[in-house]
Chain A
Amino acid sequence: MNLARNFVENFPCFSIVLCMVAGILSTPIKGNHAKRITLLVVILVTCMSAATFLYVVSTGTSFVYTMGKYPAPWGNEIRAGVLETMLATVFSLVMLFSLLGGMDHVFKDIPEEKINLYFILVDLLLSSLLAIIYTNDLFTGYVFVEINTIAACGMIMIRKIGRSLVAATRYMVMSLIGSGLFLIGLAMLYDITGHLLMENAHLVMNQLVQEGKYSVPLLVIISFITVGLAIKSGLYPFHSWMPDAYGYSTVSSSSILSSLVSKSYIILLIKIFYRVIGFDNIVNSKIVDVLFVFGLAGMVMGSVGAIMAKDIYRMIAFSSVAQIGYVYMGIGLETEAGMVAAIFHILTHAITKSLLFLAAKGLNNVSGRKRVFYALQGSAFRNPLAGVAFLVGSLSMVGIPMLSGFISKLLFATAALGAAREKVLITLIVLAVSTILNAIYFLHTVVRIYTPVHVPEEFKNVHVRVSKGAALAVFSLICMNFILGLLSQPITDLIQVGIAMFA
């Protein structure tokens, strides 16, 4: 029994290394084989993450895995608690479904000799996502943030059209600015604490705060790290790269980028807030108020951008800007309930946004691959599965009961009531406005795809055969949406337990 337990504790490290090995193995082989290896690895990683999750839930404590033989203040560590393992499981599942759902397009959009490179990037991306989630070491966090950025940029630029090149460039510039700020923040943090492991840094940090030393450098560090990661995750007004980057890359890339990559930076930020700087110190520094204001602005402006968008991908991409705003607004409420809502929304958005991108691609396929809205008229009848998927995704984003988006909004609203007095009213108002705006653009599109009048002549008899993998992926994402919406209580409880384990 004990042996089996010790074995499970290796899984987080295994899964990170496994992805990297898969990347190396995929280098000399053909795209088709690389695809099989990648899918196998993603499935294995999902199973291992799920096993670790169950293990951590059953023991009720987090565990620390020491890399190499050097103990705490010197060595490098991986740490797995309820939250980390849950996020790893959901992320690898979403990755799997995004890949399955967009597989046909990967082979269409990318030149044949480059397909194995695409899967190498996917492997690298998964390994860096897992490492960012699990790591207990700040500098390892930085290194994997950069690997994440490089892999994500590669996934955008691998499709050789002008728009995606420009999108990749803008993405890269914004990301590098973010990582520069993050890096100098870390360097200063190391400077005043003398530690890179999160726990040790946290101890020194508490001591410094109690003694009232280094208060100005501390504020600078907190702002650099927060602003750096906020820029990288695309918080309004640093979102300008998002619509093109999500709108013009191949569909798997857009769903992975929007649902996982930008979230991983937020998770790292939350980890640093709790495990390094301490949430009370963060609240005292007032930086969360800044996040709160920009989150609120993002919620409205993202939705306005989506209403103005001329094509469906840009609309979904702008909706991501709004959802990132929701997450930062939740963090900015300064309460644990707000944080729980933010993390729940990360899960909701990961599942729903990948579903929406896959559905939009399916609708787009039966509309002559035209991106503009009028071509989509009645397209849900030409591709019923994509139509249903888009309907479920839209309703979830708008916040209809039984779907996960509803729970997110409910949690945000309840959290807002428990927040500081001056934040209550404004949060509720912006939530309401943003929900109405969401409803305007999503339901407008839903009505359009379900209206079989004025269908352009050339699409009338188009039908498309959906591959089994894609159908399975879309169906599973719809199911996950319902699961998150119906079983929200146990999940929020687990998130609370996970946050408690952070301390």
Chain B
Amino acid sequence: MGPNLWANIDEVAAVILFGIGFTTLLLHKNMIKKIIGLNIMDTAVYLFLAAMGYVDNRLAPIVENGVTDVDAYINPIPSGLVLTGIVVSVSVTALMLSLTIRLYRKYHSLDLDEILIRMQKEELT
């Protein structure tokens, strides 16, 4: 357990961060904090991928000085996945922020519970 944990310390950190982000997104009432939680969660996955793709003492996967040996470079696919994932999370964040702006304009609050109460009040009147 001990040595394994130390060897995979990056992944452990990533999973803990994932948990933090996940609970923030799920349990926080405040919209902005929810979005921050979402970003922590997604970034944790990217950390996980990047940490797994990195091999000690190897180069970035760009052919240099004519070295074409596979063992000289790290695996490029996780980096590609991280890039794609960043694009996805940026668009999702933008969508969430625009939703937050609309909700704030309508209900003048960022607190989801408060918004629900105001929505129900508005419907009753």
User: Interface on A for B, CB 8 Å cutoff?
Assistant: 139, 142-143, 146, 149-150, 153-154, 157, 160, 162-163, 165-166, 168-169, 172-173, 176-177, 180-181, 183-184, 187-188, 190-191, 196
Contact = CB atoms under 8 A, between A and B. Distances in A.
Contacts of B65: none
Given A177-B22, A177-B25, A150 B92 contact: yes
25 contacts: A142-B88, A146-B88, A146-B91, A146-B92, A157-B99, A160-B102, A162-B107, A165-B99, A166-B103, A166-B115, A169-B100, A169-B112, A176-B25, A176-B96, A180-B18, A180-B22, A180-B25, A183-B42, A184-B15, A187-B48, A187-B52, A190-B52, A190-B81, A191-B52, A196-B77
B46 to A, nearest CB: 9
Contact of A180 (B21, B106, B119): B21
A173 B23 CA distance: 12
Contacts of B15: 184
B91 to A, nearest CB: 6
Interface in B68-125: 77-78, 81, 84-85, 88, 91-92, 95-96, 99-100, 102-103, 106-107, 112, 115-116, 119, 122-123
B41 A172 contact: no
Contacts of B115: 166
Contacts of A191: 52
Given A180-B42, A187-B52, 6 more contacts: A166-B103, A172-B96, A180-B41, A183-B85, A187-B48, A187-B49
A188 B12 CA distance: 12
A231 to B, nearest CB: 10
Interface of B: 15, 18, 21-22, 25-26, 31, 34, 38, 41-42, 44-45, 48-49, 52, 77-78, 81, 84-85, 88, 91-92, 95-96, 99-100, 102-103, 106-107, 112, 115-116, 119, 122-123
Contact of A153 (B84, B95, B107): B95
B52 A180 contact: no
If over half of A's interface residues share one DSSP class (helix, strand or loop), that class is named, otherwise mixed; here it is helix
A387 B80 CA distance: 53
A176 B92 contact: yes
Given A162-B107, A166-B119, A187-B52, A172 B95 contact: yes
Contacts of B31: 169
Given A143-B84, A143-B88, A184 B48 contact: yes
